[in-house]
């Protein structure tokens, strides 16, 4: 049932610009979070391999490090913007 709701909402909200902007930020946040989860899975798998073969150092590829760094920066930026916006909105209430 939730999947049907998600499929209906993929196109995004219509009309309310503020809501549409928040929706876009939420989707971007979710995509970044999903990418980070995948990268963390890689780190965990590498750690498991390291435990089985302690002489091998666990490592990420340069591409994985770049993606993780990029995702962290985007998530941090989104959270800072939303935090600042929320504090401004609360001050005006």
Q: Mean pLDDT, consecutive 10-residue segments, the chain of 93 residues? A: 49 67 83 82 71 61 77 77 64 56
Its domain, for residue 79, covers: 21-92
Does residue 58 form part of some domain? yes
The values of phi and psi at residue 7, to 5°, are -60, -40
Spatial contact of 74 and 32, defined as CB atoms under 8 Å apart: yes
Give the pLDDT score at 2: 47
Spatial contact of 76 and 36, defined as CB atoms under 8 Å apart: no
Does residue 78 form part of some domain? yes
Give the pLDDT score at 72: 77
- The pTM assigned to this predicted structure is 0.43
- Residue 68, C-beta contacts closer than 8 angstroms, at least 6 positions apart: 36, 39, 60
Q: How many distinct structural domains can be found in the chain? A: 1
Does residue 74 form part of some domain? yes
């Amino acid at each position: 049932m939730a999947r049907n709701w998600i499929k209906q909402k993929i196109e995004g909200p219509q009309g309310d610009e503020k809501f549409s902007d928040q929706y876009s930020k939420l989707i971007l946040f979710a995509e970044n979070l999903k990418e980070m989860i995948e990268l963390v899975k890689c780190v965990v798998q590498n750690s498991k391999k390291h435990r089985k073969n302690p002489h091998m150092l666990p490592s990420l590829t340069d591409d994985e490090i770049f993606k993780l760094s990029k995702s962290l920066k985007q998530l941090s930026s989104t959270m800072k913007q939303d935090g600042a916006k929320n504090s401004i909105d609360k001050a005006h209430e």
